[in-house]
């Protein structure tokens, strides 16, 4: 199952964020994904800008 976050406002001076999955049954799980906002995509993510 994939969940989408449609709108997330991040300050322009932030270039890297860490994303961690969470659900109500299992809590936090899996692996964190480090997202480089200076790139359009990575191995497990895609950055879409307005």
Position 6 scores a pLDDT of 67
CA distance 29 to 21: 6
In this prediction the pTM is 0.67
Position 38 scores a pLDDT of 94
Q: What are the start-end ranges of the E strands in the chain?
A: 16-23, 27-36
CB distance 30 to 19 below 8 Å: no
Task: Tell how strand 16-23 and strand 27-36 pair up.
Answer: antiparallel
pLDDT along the chain (50 residues), means of 10: 70 91 77 91 84
CA distance 46 to 37: 9
Position 29 scores a pLDDT of 76
Position 36 scores a pLDDT of 94
State whether residue 28 is helix, strand or coil: strand
């Amino acid at each position: 199952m994939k969940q989408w976050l449609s709108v997330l406002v991040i300050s322009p001076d932030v270039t890297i964020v860490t994303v961690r999955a969470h659900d109500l049954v299992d809590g936090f799980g899996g692996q964190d994904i480090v997202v480089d906002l200076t790139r359009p995509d990575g191995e497990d993510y895609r950055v879409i800008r307005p």
